[in-house]
Amino acid sequence: MIKTIDLYKDYRIGKVLFPALRGIDMQIEDGEFTAIAGPSGSGKTTLLNIIGCLDVPTKGKVLIDGTDINELSAKGKAELRKTRIGFVFQTFNLIPVLTAYENVEIPLILLNLEPENKKEMIVTMLEEVGLGDFINRRPNEMSGGQQQRVAIARALVKEPSMVLADEPTANLDSTTAKEILALMQELNGKHKTTFIFSTHDQLVMEYSRRTVNLRDGRIVEDKTKTRGK
Amino acid sequence: MKLLNIAWRNVFRHTRRTLITAAAISVGLSSMIFMNTMMNGADKMASRNIIDFETGHLEVFAKDYYREEGVFPLDTIIDNPISITGNIEGIPGIKGITPRAKFQASISNGVDELPVLGMGVDIEKDTEVFEVANSVVEGTYLQQEGDLVIGTNLAEDMDLGVGSFITIITKDRNGTYNAYDLTVSGIINTGHPLFDRNMAIIPIGQAQTLLAIGEGITEVCIRANDEDNLAPLKEKISEVIGNEYEVFTWKEMNAAIFEISGFKRAGQFMIGLVVVIIAAVGIINTMLMAVMERIPEIGTLKAMGFKNSGIVRMFIYEGGIIGAFGSALGCLVGLLISAYLVHVGLDFSSVFENMDIVYPMKFIIKGEIDYVNLIYVFVFGIVVSVLVSLWPVRKATKLEPVDALRHV
């Protein structure tokens, strides 16, 4: 369970103080499939980064399963990211010199697994995202949708408790975006991994069960559908 | 897949950049190897010339005779050589032993007169220690009293050939001037400038008469079986010859030359170092570019839980791989140049022809490869590459993951 308590974040750009988050209180249960929506500049990415231990709040707390992440050292945060959090980025962020297989392998390098187990985990994961035939392709030999599938496989392969996806479909055409969303929804159902997205894409919101709307760093709406699409 | 593997792939992301950087390192290292080969070759040639023509491995003098290089006093000589040579001959590990009598003299062809170093040698025994007899290029070696052997350069300077008559003039032990007429029996080409330019070699008996020293000689020259282990032999000799005489190794007598060569080595190492520093700047630049263009990737890796140490390691491997390439290439090129130097050599004779030379060798330098040095240079190249990579890589560690991810 993720809980944010009165979360504030200010950015200083030159002499101007820019408030990105102004008091976010929310709770996300395990296994949720939640969209953080809002126009650009509303604080979506900032919120995701703070939950993902990539950024620190100016004020307030984030509790992940009861642990206050502010109290973790840089190493402790790295440890948390290593084991419990998977990231999916708008620009995919695959390592261009590595194949799909090797990109998915990267998070596992840190986990000291048996080579045999590792191989099976990677291949299974790539098959789950529909890239069973593409394991030896490099990013520049794949379409955007395929690259994002690799990124999703990379985020999920270590079986994290949550996947944070920052605008995962923003660089994809709508057909591909739908496929990716359907895939994430499927994986959410199957692995019971919490998925949190940021998006300003109506399509993503349609797919999510819960949509938290942000505007100017505040939650303006938080609605949960009884059933996802 | 390990970090090393990722680093390896990253190195070939920009093949041309990697190759240029590696080439810069290799130029620095190959020039270091080249210089080392030259210096070794020069030192080896100088050593061989000293041992094979000038001193042998060890020399025994009367006490206080050997004061400094180039002084040949007749007041402190070995008056009774048999008394010590007999003792020395019995020591195991000695290959040959021969007396010599050196003296300052001048020779005249009737027109010109030149100062020379006169040297009386035992015609038979000298060949057991020295290579002079094997260096005759014209005529024959000393056969009898009245014969004279000179070097090619002296023959040229004095316009002498085999059969030419010359007069040798010297002051004997009592300060009286003596002169002898001699016939040039042979001309030698040793490669040792002292012998080729300044030496007049005559039979020892004749020298003794000329100098009025009776049976006396200036030194006993000794060739050892094992030239790398002269200290114990020196000790044994010094035991049997007693206090009136002293023994020196060839190295002790030529310390100044090897001191010079030490300076040259230091100088050449500095030159090599400068080239390597230039190459190092190339590595720094390459690594800085690698870090800068990969900031979002660094952010991604950090987001996945990579710690700074892992990221630093990845980049250091990269620097190390480029360094290893450069080092391998540098060693290969250095080895090829060295092989040329070993087999063909470099001809400096036109540069040094008219200079007074203190270094006992001719200026066609043949190289001598030091394989241990080659390994050092290889490792040095990699170590330098890794060390200078640290600075650019530090930049990567200072980035917060969120800033790195945002970086475009």
Percent of chain B with pLDDT over 90: 38
* Closest approach of B289 to chain A, Cα-based (Å): 16
B279: distance to nearest CA of chain A, Å?
A: 26
pLDDT at B351: 60
Beta bridge mates, B188 = B136, B151
Chain B closest CA to A79's CA: distance in Å? 6
> DSSP secondary-structure letter at A31?
T
Q: Do B405 and A54 touch (CB under 8 A)?
A: yes
Lowest mean pLDDT of A40-49, A157-166, B297-306, B397-406, name the range: B397-406
d(CA B106, CA B168): 6
Size of interface A-B (CB pairs under 8 A): 65
- Per-residue pLDDT at B395 exceeds 70: yes
For tokens 């040949």, the residue is B72
B303–A81: do the CB atoms touch at under 8 Å? yes
Nearest CA to B214 out of B72, B75, B63, B80 is that of: B80
Q: Quick check: B257 and B194 in contact, CB under 8 A?
A: no
Inter-chain residue contact B400 with A55, CB threshold 8 Å: yes
Give yes or no for B167 touching A (CB within 8 A).
no
Q: Do B300 and A55 touch (CB under 8 A)?
A: no
Q: What confidence score (pLDDT) does residue B41 get?
A: 86
| Rounded Cα gap, residues B39 and A98, in angstroms | 47
Segment-wise mean pLDDT, segments of 10 residues, chain A, 229 residues: 93 87 93 91 91 92 91 89 92 91 91 87 92 92 93 92 91 87 89 90 82 92 73
Q: How far apart are CA A85 and CA A77, in angstroms?
A: 10
B50 SS3 class: helix
DSSP string, B170-207: EE-TTS-EEEEEEEEEEEE--S-HHHHHHEEEEEHHHH
Q: How far is CA B264 from the centre of its chain?
A: 10
Q: Has residue B66 got a pLDDT over 80?
A: no
Q: What is d(CA B135, CA B149) in angstroms, rounded to the nearest whole number?
A: 11
* Phi then psi dihedrals of residue B62, to 5 deg: -65, 150
Task: Establish if A3 touches chain B: CB-CB under 8 angstroms.
Answer: no
The answer to whether residue A54 neighbours chain B at the CB level (below 8 Å) is yes
* Interface residue A15 vs chain B (CB under 8 A): no
* CATH domain A2-221 topology: Rossmann fold (3.40.50)
Q: Do B306 and A54 touch (CB under 8 A)?
A: no
**What residue of A is the nearest CA neighbor of B408?**
A91
Q: Which range among A73-82, A162-171, B149-158, B340-349 shows the weakest confidence by mean pLDDT?
A: B340-349
Best residue of A93, A123, A171 to probe chain B, by most B CBs closer than 10 Å:
A93
> Which amino acid, residue B185?
S
- Would the CB atoms of B301 and A106 count as touching at under 8 Å? yes
pLDDT digits (tens, 9 = 90+) for B123-135: 999 999 999 999 8
Q: What is the mean pLDDT of residues B140-160?
A: 91
Q: State the pLDDT at residue B253.
A: 86
The string of pLDDT tens digits covering residues B71-112 is: 788 888 898 888 888 888 888 889 999 999 999 999 998 888
Quick one: pLDDT band at residue B320, thresholds 50, 70, 90?
very high
- Maximum separation of any 2 CA atoms in chain B, in Å: 98
* Type of residue at A195: F
Q: Whats the size of chain B, residue-wise? A: 408
| Percent of chain B whose predicted confidence (pLDDT) is above 70 | 95
The DSSP annotation for A113-172 comes to --HHHHHHHHHHHHHHTT-TT-TT--GGGS-HHHHHHHHHHHHHTT--SEEEEESTTTTS
Chain B CB contacts of A81 below 8 Å? 302-305
Name the residue among B12, B297, B401 with its Cβ closest to that of A95: B297
B400 touches chain A (CB under 8 A): yes
Asked if residue B14 has pLDDT above 90, the reply is: no
Q: How far apart are CA B368 and CA B342, in angstroms?
A: 6
pLDDT at B254 > cutoff 70: yes
Q: Which of B13, B310, B402 sits opposite A49 (nearest CB)?
A: B402
pTM equals 0.77
CA distance B100 to B119: 7
Query: At A210, is the secondary structure helix, strand, or coil?
Result: strand
Residues 6+ apart with CB under 8 A from A15: none
- Mean pLDDT across chain B: 87
Domain boundaries, chain A: 2-221
Q: ipTM, 2 decimals?
A: 0.90
CA-based Rg of chain B, rounded to a whole angstrom? 31
Residue B226 scores a pLDDT above 80: yes
For residue B65, pLDDT beyond 50: yes
Residue B97 CA to residue B84 CA, distance in Å, equals 11
Q: What is the pLDDT of residue B383?
A: 92
